[in-house]
Structure 1
Amino acid sequence: MNATGDTTWLNWTQYADHGPNESVLGSVAGRRVLELGSGSGSNLAHLVTLGATGQGVDIAPARETAARERWGDLPGLEFHAAEATTFLNETDETFDVVISIFGAVWFVDPDTLLPLIRSRMTPGGILAFSHLPPGSQGPKPANPAKPGLRHDRTPDEWGLTLTRHGFSDVCVSLIDPPEGGTVGTMLVRASAS
C-alpha cells in the first residue's frame, strides 16, 4: 500500500506518493497502454485497475518475472521481457497511451526510439515519460557505443526532438522534490500528431 492506503498508484517521480497522478494521461478507461521499462509493473497495474488494458516491456527478465508474480492475475495486463526497440519492431499492435517512467525513453537513443513509438501509436495518442532533469547527476552523456547511458535533454530539446518525430502539444514540466528530497523530476507529455 502507498501512504494514502491505496493498493495501486502511479508515481511519475522517484519519490513515493509525490507528484501528479494518472490525470496527466486523461481518462485511460478503454484505452490500450504500453509501458516501456515497466519494472515491477505497479504503475501499469494501476492504470489497468482504472479500466485500461496494458502491456509492460522491460529489458530485465527478472523484472518481468517479478511483475508477473505480483500482478499476473489482473485481467487485461501482460508483461514481456524485451528490449524496447525490439518489441516495437516486432509487434503489430497499436497503443493509445505509451508511458516510460525512468525507463526506455531515457536510455534508448530518441532518434531511434521515438519513430518506433510513434509508428505504434493511434492518432491523437499520448506519450508521457519522466526522468531526472538533465545534469542533475553530473555529466554522463549518452553514447551509442556504450548502451545503458542516459539521453538527457533539456525541456526545449525534448520539444524539438518530439516535434521532429511526429508529436505535437509537447508539455514539459519540472516537478520539485518533496521536502527532504534532493533532486526533482522532469515530466514530458506529447500527442501523436
Structure 2
Amino acid sequence: MPRESTNLPEYWDSYKPHRGEGDQPAPEVDRFAWTQYDGHGPGAEFLGAPRTALELGCAEGGEAVYLARSGVAVTALDFSTAQIARARNWWGGTPGLTFAHAEACDYLTSSPATYDAIFSIWGAVWFTDPDDLIPLVAERLEPGGVLAFSQAEPIEDYYGPQPMYGNGLAGRKLTLLRWAYSPQWWADLLKRTGFTDIDATILPAPDPDDVGTLMVRARRAG
C-alpha cells in the first residue's frame, strides 16, 4: 500500500510563494498555459468552447481568470488556504469567476453543479487517486463535456502512486503522493469510465532532452 500523504494543505500553502512580503500586485494574465515551458503547447482552445468550467487545483488562479475574461463562468478550486486567499485578493470581483476552498473529491461529491469543462493544470488530477477522482469528474460533466489535464510526463515503466518529499530533502518531513501513468493507461481508464474522443499523449519539450508534458483530453459520452 502506498504511504498516505501528510500535511498536504501545508505543502500547497507554500507552493509557488509570491516574491516579497505583504500585499503584492496581481501578475499579468495574457495567456493560458498547459505546459512548464513559456509559449509552448496549446492554449485555452484545448478546452473547446465551454460556457462553464471547473478548475481542480487553481493555485494563483491565472488560467481561471483568463477564461473568465473570455466569457466563461469559472469555478476555481484549491485545497490551500493560502493559495485561495491570494487568488481572491488578486482576482476577487472578476465577473464570472468564483473561488472555492476545498479538496477536489470532497467538492465533486458535495456540489450538485455540473460543467461543460473540468480541467487541471499540474493540479489535483496529478495528486489525487484517479480511481477515486475520474468517476466523480464524469458525474459533474454535462453530456459531451470535456475533461482536460496536464502534468509532467511519467518516467517510463515507473507508474502508479509515488511518494515524494514536498519540501525537498531538508527540514520537516512533508510527504505527499502523486499518480504517474502512461498515456495508454489514462486512455483505458477514461474509456472504462464512459469517456469518448480520448486524446492522451506526451507533448515533447522544446528541447527533446528535457521533460515533456502529459496532455489528456476526453469527452463525456452523452
The interval holding the TM-score normalised by the smaller chain is 0.7 to 0.9
Is 1:150–2:178 an aligned residue pair? yes
In structure 2, give the amino acid aligned to 1:149: L
Is 1:94–2:122 an aligned residue pair? no
Corresponding residue for residue 9 of structure 1: 31
Partners of 1:96 and 1:57 lie apart in 2 by 16
Partners of 2:132 and 2:29 lie apart in 1 by 36
Provide, for residues 153-193 of structure 1, a one-character-per-residue CA deviation record: whole Å limited to 9, x for no partner: 10110000011111111101322222498211011000011
Corresponding residue for residue 117 of structure 1: 137
Is 1:61–2:89 an aligned residue pair? no
Count of residues paired in the alignment: 184
Partners of 2:40 and 2:138 lie apart in 1 by 29
Is 1:189–2:217 an aligned residue pair? yes
Q: Could you tell me whether the CA contact under 8 Å between 1:8 and 1:43 is conserved in 2?
A: no
1:31-110 alignment, distance < 5 Å: 31-110=51-130
When Rg is computed on C-alpha atoms for both structures, the one with the higher figure is 2
Q: How far is 1:141 from its partner?
A: 4.1
Q: Helix, strand or coil for the counterpart of 1:134?
A: coil
Corresponding residue for residue 22 of structure 1: 44
Provide, for residues 124-156 of structure 1, a one-character-per-residue CA deviation record: whole Å limited to 9, x for no partner: 0000000111117x9584169x97311111011
Corresponding residue for residue 3 of structure 1: none
Provide, for residues 87-111 of structure 1, a one-character-per-residue CA deviation record: whole Å limited to 9, x for no partner: 1111010010000011111111111
Q: Helix, strand or coil for the counterpart of 2:138?
A: helix
* TM-score w.r.t. length of structure 2: 0.77
Partners of 1:17 and 1:71 lie apart in 2 by 23
**Runs of 5+ consecutive residues of structure 1 not aligned to the other structure:** 1-5
**Runs of 5+ consecutive residues of structure 2 not aligned to the other structure:** 1-27, 164-173
Q: Could you tell me whether the CA contact under 8 Å between 1:141 and 1:149 is conserved in 2?
A: no
* TM-score w.r.t. length of structure 1: 0.88
Q: Could you tell me whether the CA contact under 8 Å between 1:105 and 1:113 is conserved in 2?
A: yes
CA RMSD, 1 decimal: 2.2
Q: Could you tell me whether the CA contact under 8 Å between 2:55 and 2:119 is conserved in 1?
A: yes
